[in-house]
Amino acid sequence: MPYITSNSFRIALSIGLALMFLLAVACGSPAATSETAPPAAGSAPDATAPAAAIPQQAVATATPVQPAESSSPTQQTAEPAAATRVDRPTLTAGVIWLDSPLDPVESGWVANQSGMSENLFRLSATTLSPEPWLATAATQVDPLTWEIELRSDVNFHNGSVMDAQAVKASLERTIRLSPASAETLTIDTVTVHGEHTIIITTTEPQPTLPGLLTSPAVAITDATAADAAGEGNFIAAGALTGPYVPTEYIQKERLISVANDNYWGGAPPLAGIEHIAIPDTNSRELALQAGDVDVAINISPEGAQTINAQPGLHSRTAGIGTSVVMWWVNFERGTLADPLVRRAVDQAIDRESIAGLVAPEGTGSYAELLLPEALVSCPGVNAPGYDPGQARALLAEAGYADTDGDGIVDKDGQPLEIVIGGYPQRFQLPIMAEAAQAMLADVGIKAEVIITEWSVVKDPAWDLFGWYNSVVEAGDPVLNVSKYAGLRADASGSGANNYGHYDNSGLADIVARAGSLPDLEDRKQIACDALAVVTEESAFLPVAHVYMVYGVSERVTGFEPHPSSLYFFDHRIGLSK
């Protein structure tokens, strides 16, 4: 069983899968095939056993993730692959987003989720730690140096071999074209040390480097082919390694792929996967019930009940909440910059009850803290409880009173009003906003709810903004606290925006203690210390840790949901006739 070590420990991953028969997969000229593929979940031989988590850091195996936001609709096509796939079925999946480009350096989420791209490491489905994927082992030689061993049986979709030289070129391309990745990874040099080994040196200690290499933006690509294909023609490069090969992509509409029959884990049982963008949750659920899709990704609790009651359909989940639904708190808009008002708002909202609405049992759990217990448990760190009486007392202490008897408290003649924002693609956010609106009114705070585009979070005209995002990236609890506070981003730049403009030098000092610490338990304690600070200051208001819930046709075989939104499907998913 593979594992990742630091210094005296070492990761060894058994490689027991032979490449299947060679089939040509042409990529380049326009053509049409219709399949959109979510990330792979596995069939054929057991390609990679999960690696043991190392005591120092979290390394994990997973399948590609989700959040995608990007440009206007664009189309790329490639030639369909081998005709022998005609005897196999094509799976259709309804997804929320198809926004981001397929080239990992431009985002990587869609390609990762769709079973097209792969990383050196991935998050474990059970421990959420980094595990080998295209790598087989990693050893931290010293604080600035990692030695990574690679699989010897991997080809890119264009047939080129993935060896140490190719991985070196891929990482160097990522650093050159992705400033967020360059800043996060702090890679100084990548050198080839034999045909299937690379040595990475960093400019500062990176005890969690394997975890950072799980980011979709750092997926391994054939750099030479990708650069030669030119901008807007990434599909033609055949530059990825996953079980599915993209053949057509119209952003915000559909993504079509065919099976990679030369996949190192074994030929997929499908001819391909067709991903259809269906942003509305109810519409995705109806598409599954009508038989228009075989898998609906991210369904609601009510939708799951309906789907489970319909013959031939059922819901599936990994049962671990790896994403949080929360509110950003705007520290730069005067109202909530006042710590008394901020705490009053916190205690006026019954977040645990709201969690029961948006993530009832079987679909998620109450998020008292920002990070889920599956990643880190912090005994003694507790959020302020729901207490409307205390909220009223805090408002009075801040100088607010209902002087005109209209039910809304005011100060210096100005009523206390806030704006709660959110976006509709995540069904939880409008429900949260409306519930909070009623609870705030009970203590004399008027709240206006504005459900709009997610990008409005970048504007200053809100006080609370509903958000949905992963909180287990890289398998490192310190990173997942600090990125929300704007102290550090992952390699995709996720979380670095610090949309609430929260600033606390004491928090920065706590996070800095993680430094070169490789031991995971030490890092967990630092994360708990950081969580204590942001919780005490009501810097974020988490509501629920939500599961990835899928609606699935009974015809779907070999599908094992991964808890992370990084991975939807793998090479094992199939479809009976």
Percentage of the chain beyond pLDDT 70 is: 83
Region of poorest pLDDT, from 133-147, 165-179, 309-323, 473-487: 473-487
- What's residue 78's pLDDT? 55
- What's residue 84's pLDDT? 60
Alpha helices in 300-371 (DSSP H): 301-309, 334-337, 339-348, 351-358
CB 291 within 8 A of CB 307: no
* Amino acid in the structure at residue 332: E
Burial 288-307 (b: 16+ CB within 10 A, else e): bbeeebbbbbbbbbebbebb
Residue 94: strand pairing partners = 276, 296
In angstroms and rounded to an integer, the radius of gyration of the C-alpha atoms of the chain is 24
- Quick one: fold of 28-300+549-575? D-Maltodextrin-Binding Protein; domain 2 (3.40.190)
Two tokens, residue 323: 């994403």
CB 146 within 8 A of CB 137: no
pLDDT digits (tens, 9 = 90+) for 79-92: 444 436 678 999 99
Matching CATH topology for 28-300+549-575 and 323-546?
A: no
**Average pLDDT for the chain:** 86
Q: Which of 14, 110, 5, 130 is nearest to 62 (CA)?
A: 130
DSSP designation for 403: S
pLDDT digits (tens, 9 = 90+) for 46-103: 333 333 333 333 333 222 323 333 333 455 655 444 436 678 999 999 999 898 999 9
CB 206 within 8 A of CB 474: no
- What's residue 459's pLDDT? 85
Region of poorest pLDDT, from 168-182, 298-312, 332-346, 497-511: 497-511
Please give the average per-residue pLDDT across 164-179, as a whole number: 97
- What's residue 76's pLDDT? 64
Please give the average per-residue pLDDT across 121-146, as a whole number: 96
Which long-range contacts does 83-88 make (Cβ < 8 Å, 24+ apart)?
A: 84/23, 84/261, 85/258, 85/259, 85/261, 85/271, 85/272, 86/271, 87/271, 88/259, 88/269, 88/270, 88/271
Region of poorest pLDDT, from 124-138, 331-345, 497-511: 497-511
pLDDT digits (tens, 9 = 90+) for 318-371: 999 999 999 999 998 889 999 999 999 999 999 999 999 999 999 999 999 999
pLDDT digits (tens, 9 = 90+) for 9-57: 333 333 333 333 333 333 333 222 222 233 332 233 233 333 333 333 3
- What's residue 67's pLDDT? 31
- What's residue 54's pLDDT? 31
- What's residue 82's pLDDT? 43
Identify the residue with better confidence: 558 or 18: 558
Q: Which of 426, 40, 110 is nearest to 270 (CA)?
A: 40
Question: What pTM, to 2 d.p., does this model score?
Answer: 0.82
CB 172 within 8 A of CB 182: no
Region of poorest pLDDT, from 5-9, 35-39, 127-131, 202-206: 35-39
pLDDT digits (tens, 9 = 90+) for 416-437: 999 999 999 999 999 999 999 9
Two tokens, residue 18: 């032979």
- What's residue 334's pLDDT? 82
Cα-Cα-Cα-Cα torsion 501, 507, 508, 510, nearest 10 degrees, comes to -160
Provide the residue ranges of all domains of the chain, joining segments of one domain with +.
28-300+549-575, 323-546
Burial 341-356 (b: 16+ CB within 10 A, else e): bbbbbbbbbbbbebbb
Q: Which of 475, 468, 508, 510 is nearest to 490 (CA)?
A: 475
What is the CATH number that goes with domain 323-546? 3.10.105.10
- What's residue 473's pLDDT? 87
